[in-house]
Structure 1
Amino acid sequence: MFSIGDFAKVGRVSVRMLRHYDAIGLLRPAVVDPTNGYRFYHADQLRRLNRVIALKDLGFTLQQVQAVLDDQLDVEELRGMLRLQRAELAARLAADAARLTGIEARLRMIENEGHMHTEDVVLKKIAPVRVAELSAVAASYEAADIGPVIQPLYPEVIRRVDAAGVAMIGPSVAYYEPAPGEPGEAVVVHAGVAVAVAPQPGHDFAIVDLPAIESAATIIHRGSMDEADRSMQILARWVEENGYRMIGYAREVCLEFVPDQPDQWVHEFQVEVSR
């Protein structure tokens, strides 16, 4: 089972949103601790969460979402509804292209829910790595908040590292942590590239040593990062099925990057786990 915080990370939604869904009866936690009120969720509840987000992002009100889901429509009926609403939304507002990309990813997860193979997950130790990085703050860990923040960081850190005459010796790495002193569920987004130089004054980027991870659940994600939630939810199922719990946010290591061809990208997601 997952705490509300971990379930929010896996589902790429906010804790505030999950609490609201609980309050209106849209997505109840599997267990509520009677002594402290803490909420816990099963990985299988990602099915309903995926449907809620897809329908909501297509413009349905939460009351309409609940009515649709409580009617227990099958996947084909649900896909038909989503596609019709998606077409209307695309015709109405071209600026919603980024939102539509997120909807597509949720739809594919819904369609493939019975084919998410946790045998693709590997438990291993991650070696420490030194990175040159730039950081920024995103409003939350939701994909819609992360993407616009992290995307400009990579070309900028590569430009600065190259201008400083520092050689990159390994892949790029993204990692996240809670933003201290920031309101709500803001996270610090770090975009780095592996280097082998010591920190020096005068650099317009930070040199940071990422520690080893003694026990990490990892998975290879192939394709656009718009589809990252699919791989993260496979990781979540593996973590629950094997009696582990997640610690912090996942690292994202870019193994292959082809400009303008996101379908050929390859990343490894690494999340620290413990029993």
Structure 2
Amino acid sequence: MLSIGEFSKMCGVSTKTLRYYDEIGLINPEEINPGNGYRYYAVRQLKKMLFINRLKSYHFSLEEMRVILDLEEDLFEEKLRSALLRKSMEIQDKLKAYEYILKQMSNDITSLDNGIPLMSYLDNIDVQLVETQPMTILYIRQMMSSHDYASGYGSYFGKLYEKIAVNKLTMLGTPMTIYHSPEYYPSGNDTEFAIPIKELVKGSRDLPGGLCAKSVLKGSYSELTSVFAKLREWVEQEGYELVESPYEIYLTDPDQVTRTEDLVTEVYFPVKKK
């Protein structure tokens, strides 16, 4: 048997962390001395602790690790492989995001070296006044926290695509997101996921057309806040006011685009003259 200190040293995990892992049921000591409360681990538990360390190094959360450790033995290898593939894809997405950030930082440094103000890129965002046509949209409306957006988009659009396929509906456009909350709430925002269709069916509604301030973003979705800011500034300067919820239309499928720069998103602000 190994004392908690010896086990800690062997695995490179602090005794405080081991006690916490015991509290949440991730890995429990083999034996606890009832007299003094000392904790002891079996040598065979080193393998389990090293496995936990490896999952942690792969950025699995404690809850994700617990789910894996609780898997039935006959399903363990298969489910573990699926979990590793999923986590690998998440890390690849993060790597792409960091690559984009590094490229953006490099461009900003070059601009500053050339005496160009950092935020001058806002001046290059084009805004047009357009008249949109009414459409019928199949939609799902949901409260979404900032942490839910990345996974939520694919999930809810997937449900809409499935409903279109099952009911043999006719798509008339690409996916769109409508933002109904009057301000940004980190805990959750009123978000509507929609796809334009021909038929008026249960779960669909009419989206009115009208005058809109429109801009097109070519690049990362992280730049959408810049487009929103530019549109809001334009609306104010040109004497208009926002009359309906702003929305985005995704002209490209992120799963089909290899470079972030190839993403194309239209942003619309429904407006009227003051």
TM-score, normalization by structure 2: 0.51
Contact 1:118 1:237 in 2 (8 A): no
In structure 2, the partner of 1:116 is: 122
Matched, 1:273 2:260: no
Counterparts in 2 of 1:2-41, with a 5 A limit? none
Report deviation, 1:178: 3.3
Shift in CA distance, 146/119, structure 1 to aligned 2, threshold 3 Å: closer
Shift in CA distance, 231/144, structure 1 to aligned 2, threshold 3 Å: farther
In structure 2, the partner of 1:244 is: 240
Letter in 2 for 1:121: V
Matched, 1:197 2:199: yes
Shift in CA distance, 112/268, structure 1 to aligned 2, threshold 3 Å: farther
Shift in CA distance, 251/198, structure 1 to aligned 2, threshold 3 Å: same
Shift in CA distance, 115/178, structure 1 to aligned 2, threshold 3 Å: closer
Counterparts in 2 of 1:119-130, with a 5 A limit? 120-130=126-136
SS in 1 for 2:261: helix
Contact 2:125 2:227 in 1 (8 A): no
Aligned mates of 1:258, 1:145 — CA distance in 2: 17
Aligned mates of 1:238, 1:118 — CA distance in 2: 13
Aligned mates of 1:145, 1:244 — CA distance in 2: 33
Larger relative contact order (Cα-Cα within 8 Å, sequence gap ≥ 6): 1
Letter in 2 for 1:190: E
Aligned mates of 2:133, 2:248 — CA distance in 1: 14
Counterparts in 2 of 1:70-219, with a 5 A limit? 97=94, 104=101, 112-117=118-123, 120-139=126-145, 144=147, 146-178=149-181, 186-200=188-202, 206-213=203-210, 215-219=211-215
Aligned mates of 1:155, 1:176 — CA distance in 2: 19
Aligned mates of 1:162, 1:266 — CA distance in 2: 25
In structure 1, the partner of 2:20 is: none
Flag the structure with higher strand content: 1
Aligned mates of 1:248, 1:151 — CA distance in 2: 25
Letter in 2 for 1:244: Y
Shift in CA distance, 119/188, structure 1 to aligned 2, threshold 3 Å: closer
In structure 2, the partner of 1:41 is: none
1:230 aligned residue (226, 232, 235)? 226
Aligned mates of 1:148, 1:234 — CA distance in 2: 27
Q: For the aligned residues, what is the CA RMSD?
A: 3.6
Aligned mates of 1:112, 1:187 — CA distance in 2: 30
Report deviation, 1:145: 5.1
Query: Which structure's CA Rg is the greater one?
Result: 2
Shift in CA distance, 118/263, structure 1 to aligned 2, threshold 3 Å: closer
Contact 2:142 2:190 in 1 (8 A): yes
Letter in 1 for 2:222: D
TM-score, normalization by structure 1: 0.51
Aligned mates of 1:172, 1:151 — CA distance in 2: 10
Structure 2 unaligned residues grouped into runs of 5+: 1-90
Aligned mates of 1:150, 1:258 — CA distance in 2: 11
SS in 1 for 2:174: strand
Give identity over the alignment, percent.
Answer: 16
Report deviation, 1:228: 1.2
Which has the higher mean CA deviation after the structures are superposed, 166-175 or 256-265?
256-265
SS in 2 for 1:170: coil
Shift in CA distance, 119/160, structure 1 to aligned 2, threshold 3 Å: closer
Aligned mates of 1:225, 1:115 — CA distance in 2: 16
Deviations 1:14-55 (A, max 9, x none): xxxxxxxxxxxxxxxxxxxxxxxxxxxxxxxxxxxxxxxxxx
Shift in CA distance, 147/248, structure 1 to aligned 2, threshold 3 Å: farther
Shift in CA distance, 166/120, structure 1 to aligned 2, threshold 3 Å: same
In structure 2, the partner of 1:9 is: none
Letter in 2 for 1:267: T
Report deviation, 1:185: 7.1
